[in-house]
Amino acid sequence: MSTNFFTDNEDLVETFDRAIPWTRVVHAVAGPEADVAETVSTWREILDLAGRYIASEIAPRAAKVDEIGVIRDGGVRMNEPMTLGLTGLAELGLASPSVPEKWGGAGLPFSVTMILAEMLARADLSLQVQHGIGWNSPAALFLRYGSEGEKDRYLPRLAKGEIMGAVAMTEPQAGSDVGRLATTATPRGDGTYVLRGRKQFISAGQGEFVIVLARAPGTTGLDGLGLFLADREKSDNYVTERAEHKFVIRGSPTCALVFENTVATSLGEPGDGWKRILTFMNESRLGVGIQGIGVAQAAYAKAMEYAAQRVQLGHPIREHPMVAEMLLDMRTTVAGARALAYEAIALQDLVMFANDEGAAKRLRELTPLVKWYGTEGAVRVARMALQIHGGNGVVDEYDVGRYMRDALITPIYEGTSQIQSLMAVKDLLKVVLRKPAMLVRGGPTAWLARARFEGRLGRDFATARGSVMGALRSLIARLVRRTGLGLLRGAELSEEDLGPVLLHAERITEALAHLHVARALGERAILVPARLPVAERAARTARLVAERNRRAIALDDGSVLAQVAEWRGEGQSLRVSASSTTTTESAASPTPVQENAAAIPISVAMAPSTGAASPPISADSR
């Protein structure tokens, strides 16, 4: 059993020591005069302390946290084992460690706070969600957009763990389609606003305040959105209506909030909410990728331990080839996800603290891939850990059932895997349509085109890259056949034109993610030659995935898009019929406008939408 979730994790220590460009990060965060060695040593000591506490105090309570779940006794609150774990973190100064020292925090960079998040997710994902969303996320928004008064009021208490907040975006009718958000913020004339609406799936919604994404009355789409701060100083300012009953992250309160004449203040300028929340969501997506890595690490460690001890047919089961292959695949997935994620996280530090435009461009390419690979990989690793445990895997005392359940939430929240795929492929299409020659020579992106490796690693990587380019050439050729050569001159594409791309976006994303993982591990192997076997295995997997997905795209028989067209036709007929029915009625009685979003029925489907409206894509779009 691990006694330190930092120092006992060889790959995580290596990531800290060898993979993160600390000189650039330290100078960006602490200034060019900062002593890099001393600063990094201090951060390492903090992680060592946190690793010991998490392994000895939080991980042993995780099963109890899961068993008890959320306390619903006339209100909503966290259970005692979780509260104890969070209290201990606060006593160590790790409640909201990114808060600058000026307000009582440790001033840690994103790179270090994400290592802390990974260790917490490995121990107990429910607790990590409360730690991240309840303390760190509000602190980040105050640091960026809060007034000096708001920073002075909230940051010291967040740094000490005295209060907990939440960030409320999701609504029952909107899901991933943020443009349909209905909660309104109406000015009162005294600098405050009145919020009216309903939010759903709000982690840490039981806390003392909430930052709400709402719109100015009369606006539509993404225009007019703003961030608003509502305190629970008066118990009736807003209502935590309920905590959902979930089979994942059972100990983490996931709340429905109701705002009815809620008094709030604007966090920053009203109307800039979409841009600001998009920045927050992109960081959150990196954080969810890290959550997946933490859960996968827990599942892999438990499977390794069990496979070494469980004897069948005269041997520990890890010596049976099929089980050995599963363990190697698990190790490669975890190491690959970690290499990719911390590469992106270091870029995030450079963007946040140094406004590095080159880093921002590379970060945009990696972010959806970190979220996709880290979370889909977590589900796969947890599933294999369950299989390795056999019948014991479904028994609660072995923990792997909890890992399996908790892993399942990670590809869903903060943008589903399908949303990540649309983001990744949309950006890739922009690049390809601006420079079609990249699909003939080089690679699908400049970053991947530059990557070169020796030996088997290099051959498999190049073949995988070629298969991705082949799949993209096939899709571009279909688009040209459907739309003509105007596509290559900047013509906008409709959703119907983009049908084949939308259908195969996740296949392209999967191949891209594996290709970047092979690249990241290959570059690590240059620094640490002992890592070459893991890099070679990742490159072989990238080749297999890319070849499989290219073939799947080539063999597309059109049946899916035909079915979509049929359903769309049926829907259009129903809408026309409904419109005809209501025309006469509306002449006498105007269609009611929903001014109060709190009237939205709560009986809507629980699952957030995995669909999203796709804006036109052209060679000139941004």
CA–CA distance, 601 with 172 (Å, rounded to integer): 8
Among 415, 444, 470, residue at a domain's last position: 415
Place of tokens 């079915």: 563
Give the list of residues 6+ apart from residue 535 with CB closer than 8 angstroms, or none: 453, 457, 518, 521, 522, 524, 525
For residue 583, the model assigns a pLDDT of 52
Whether 576 is covered by a domain: the verdict is no
Same domain, 286 and 392: yes
| pLDDT of 278 | 86
Element (H or E) spanning 291, and its range? Answer: helix 273-309
Tokens of 424: 């990744």
3-state secondary structure 559-597: HHHHHHHHHHHHHHHHHHHHHHHHHHHHHHCCCCCCCCH
DSSP per position, 430-467: HHHHH-GGGGTSS-SSHHHHH----HHHHHHHHHHHHH
State whether 175 and 300 are in the same domain. no
Domain span holding position 41: 1-163
Helix (H, G, I), strand (E, B) or coil at 413: coil
**Residue 414 one-letter amino acid:** E
CB-based contact 607:254 (threshold 8 Å): no
Q: CA–CA distance from 347 to each of 138, 335, 360 (Å)? A: 22, 19, 7
How many C-alpha atoms does 56 have within 13 Å on its Cβ side? Answer: 10
Residue 140 and residue 4 share a domain: yes
- Residues sharing a CB contact under 8 Å with residue 383, sequence separation 6 or more, in sequence order: 404
263 domain residue, yes or no: yes
> How far is Cα 411 from Cα 287, in angstroms, rounded to an integer?
12
Amino acid symbol at 389: H
Residues 88 and 193 in one domain: no
DSSP annotation of 15 reads: I
How far apart, in whole angstroms, are the C-alpha atoms of residue 482 and residue 543?
Answer: 30
Q: Between 321-354 and 110-123, two packed helices, what is the crossing angle to 10 degrees?
A: 150
Q: Which residues make beta-bridge pairs with 255?
A: 202, 243
**Same domain, yes or no, for 155 and 101?**
yes
Helix axes 137-145, 148-160, angle to 10 degrees: 160
pLDDT, position 488: 63
Q: In the prediction, which pLDDT does 465 show?
A: 96
Say if residue 111 is in the same domain as residue 126: yes
pLDDT the model gives residue 486: 63
**Using an 8 Å Cβ cutoff, are 58 and 44 in contact?**
no
Q: What count of Cα atoms within 13 Å lies in the side-chain half-sphere of residue 160?
A: 9
Report the CATH number at residue 287. 1.20.140.10
CATH number of the domain where residue 22 is located: 1.10.540.10
Q: Say if residues 287 and 117 touch (Cβ distance below 8 Å).
A: yes
Residues 31 and 159 in one domain: yes
**Residue 584 backbone phi and psi in degrees, to 5:** -65, -40
**Residue 72 · residue 243 · CB < 8 Å:** yes
pLDDT in tens, 457-472: 999 999 999 999 999 9
566-589 per-position pLDDT tens digit: 998 888 787 777 766 655 444 443
**Is 143 within the bounds of a domain?**
yes
- Other beta carbons within 10 Å of 440: 8
Q: Is residue 614 part of a domain?
A: no
Residue 422 included in any domain: no
Q: Is residue 567 part of a domain?
A: no
Residues 450 and 541 in one domain: yes
Same domain? For 9 and 132 the reply is yes
Q: Domain for residue 192, yes or no?
A: yes
pLDDT, residue 234, reads 66
Task: Identify the burial level of 340 via C-beta atoms within 10 angstroms of its C-beta, where 0-12 means exposed, 13-18 middle and 19 or more buried.
Answer: buried
CA 159 – CA 210 distance, rounded (Å): 17
Q: Do residues 306 and 257 share a domain?
A: no
Q: How far is CA 91 from CA 56, 407, 442, in A?
A: 15, 29, 53
Q: Are 429 and 439 in contact (CB under 8 A)?
A: no
Strand partners, 315: 312
3-state class (DSSP) for residue 340:
helix
**Integer Cα distance of 312 and 320 in angstroms:** 9
Q: Which residues of the chain have pLDDT under 70?
A: 175-176, 234, 485-491, 579-622
Predicted local distance difference test score (pLDDT) of residue 306: 97
pLDDT value of residue 606: 27
* Whether residue 254 sits in one domain with residue 300: no
Neighbours of 343 (CB within 10 A): 22
Q: Are 135 and 28 in a shared domain?
A: yes
Q: Is 230:263 a contact under the CB 8 Å cutoff?
A: yes
Q: Residue 196 pairs with which residues in a beta bridge?
A: 184, 260
- Chosen domain end from 163, 187, 217: 163
3-state helix, strand, coil in the chain (%, to 5): 65, 10, 30
DSSP state letters, 106-121: ----HHHHHHHHHHHH
Give the count of domains, the chain. Answer: 4
Point out the domain boundary residue: 523, 544, 559: 559
Give the integer Cα–Cα distance in Å for 224 and 226.
7
- Please check whether residue 527 is in contact with residue 537, taking contact to mean a CB–CB distance below 8 angstroms: no
pLDDT for the residue 551: 97
CB 280 within 8 A of CB 378: no
601 found inside a domain: no
